[in-house]
Amino acid sequence: MDKRIDITVRQTGATQTHVVQQQNAVIQAQGGSAIKVTAARSEVTAMLREGDDLILHFADGTAVRLEGSFNCPPGDIADLIFLEPGNGQQWLTDLGSEACYLPTDTTTEALSYSFAPAGAAGGLSGGLLAGLGAVAAGIGVAAAAGGGGGGGGSDGGAAVDSTPPQRRPWRRQMAVACRALRKRVRRCASTSMATARSMRRPPLTMPAGGAIRRPRPSAMA
């Protein structure tokens, strides 16, 4: 079965469509693009990185080389999405902590990957999305503040920081943000449940003898 590959450049929005009809295909991609492959994700047997290229292997023997997929700005790897031909479900590919590489890199490695529904974030409420955005923004500020260092200068002028910022894939940052948000939500839910239980407890009464006791459930009816 032929496989359709659409490559959309984020900066310009331009899309190029390729139909793979042979077993070995080479397609020019671009780092920071969105790559959509119309093929069942269950047909994928392996993903490799060779230099800055991404190579997809399928069960029918087809191999697709996406040239330049990892030649990208720091932390801006191309998104890889699989579109199921039968039901139209879209799956986003997670390549773990994979980073960008220079075209001069000659190393080769097998990639670990997993799939998640591309529209999973659409089911979150506005409040949770706002909280997730705030946590992610906080991580970005902290990374900007701690990413640089070193650099020297004369007493008469401001020091120029020549140390490149630390590169951290955006998927890791979002994962950390999600974990932090889930912890906050669990703490809030636990506090709410404890408050509700304390409000249901019957009040203490002081009988004539001076002993403190709670009224029996029958007396509260």
Q: For residue 204, is it within any domain?
A: no
What torsion do the CA atoms of 130, 133, 138, 141 make, to the nearest 10 degrees?
-140
Question: Do 18 and 72 reside in the same domain of the chain?
Answer: yes
Q: For residue 189, is it within any domain?
A: yes
> What is residue 71's predicted lDDT score, i.e. its pLDDT?
87
> What is residue 208's predicted lDDT score, i.e. its pLDDT?
57
CA distance 168 to 187: 28
Question: Do 17 and 68 reside in the same domain of the chain?
Answer: yes
**Strands, E, within the chain: which ranges?**
3-9, 15-20, 24-28, 33-38, 44-50, 53-58, 63-67, 79-83, 90-94, 108-110, 114-117
Question: Do 183 and 110 reside in the same domain of the chain?
Answer: no
Q: For residue 171, is it within any domain?
A: yes
Average pLDDT over residues 122-130: 36
Q: For residue 96, is it within any domain?
A: yes
- For residue 150 the two structure tokens come to 């070193």
Question: Do 90 and 136 reside in the same domain of the chain?
Answer: no
CB 186 within 8 Å of CB 176: no
> What is residue 124's predicted lDDT score, i.e. its pLDDT?
36
List the domain range (segments joined by +) for residue 187. 124-143+167-198
Beta bridge partners of 50: 53, 108
Q: For residue 209, is it within any domain?
A: no
> What is residue 2's predicted lDDT score, i.e. its pLDDT?
82
Question: Do 8 and 72 reside in the same domain of the chain?
Answer: yes
Q: For residue 185, is it within any domain?
A: yes
Q: For residue 67, is it within any domain?
A: yes
CA distance 95 to 116: 11
Per DSSP bridges, beta strands 63-67 and 24-28 are parallel
Question: Do 184 and 76 reside in the same domain of the chain?
Answer: no
* pLDDT at 28 exceeding the cut of 60: yes
Question: Do 7 and 81 reside in the same domain of the chain?
Answer: yes
> What is residue 212's predicted lDDT score, i.e. its pLDDT?
53
> What is residue 152's predicted lDDT score, i.e. its pLDDT?
45
> What is residue 41's predicted lDDT score, i.e. its pLDDT?
93
> What is residue 30's predicted lDDT score, i.e. its pLDDT?
78
Final residue in a domain of this structure, among 83, 105, 120: 120
Q: How confident is the model at residue 116 (pLDDT cuts 50, 70, 90)?
A: very high
> What is residue 19's predicted lDDT score, i.e. its pLDDT?
93
Residue at 130: amino acid letter: A
Question: Do 10 and 85 reside in the same domain of the chain?
Answer: yes
Question: Do 83 and 137 reside in the same domain of the chain?
Answer: no
Question: Do 20 and 87 reside in the same domain of the chain?
Answer: yes
DSSP 15-65: EEEEEE-SSEEEEE--TTEEEEEES-GGGEEEEEEETTEEEEEETTS-EEE
Q: For residue 82, is it within any domain?
A: yes
Q: How confident is the model at residue 99 (pLDDT cuts 50, 70, 90)?
A: confident
Q: How confident is the model at residue 211 (pLDDT cuts 50, 70, 90)?
A: low
Work out how many domains the chain is built from and give that number: 2
Percent of the chain, pLDDT > 70?
Answer: 52
Question: Do 27 and 112 reside in the same domain of the chain?
Answer: yes
Q: Of 39-53, 93-107, 158-172, which one has max mean pLDDT?
A: 39-53
Percent of the chain, pLDDT > 90?
Answer: 33
Residue at 213: amino acid letter: R
What mean pLDDT is reported for the chain?
73
> What is residue 131's predicted lDDT score, i.e. its pLDDT?
40
Where does residue 48 rank: exposed (0-12), middle (13-18), buried (19+ CB within 10 A)?
Answer: middle
Question: Do 134 and 108 reside in the same domain of the chain?
Answer: no
pLDDT in tens, 128-185: 333 444 444 454 544 455 554 444 444 455 555 555 555 555 566 666 666 666 666 5
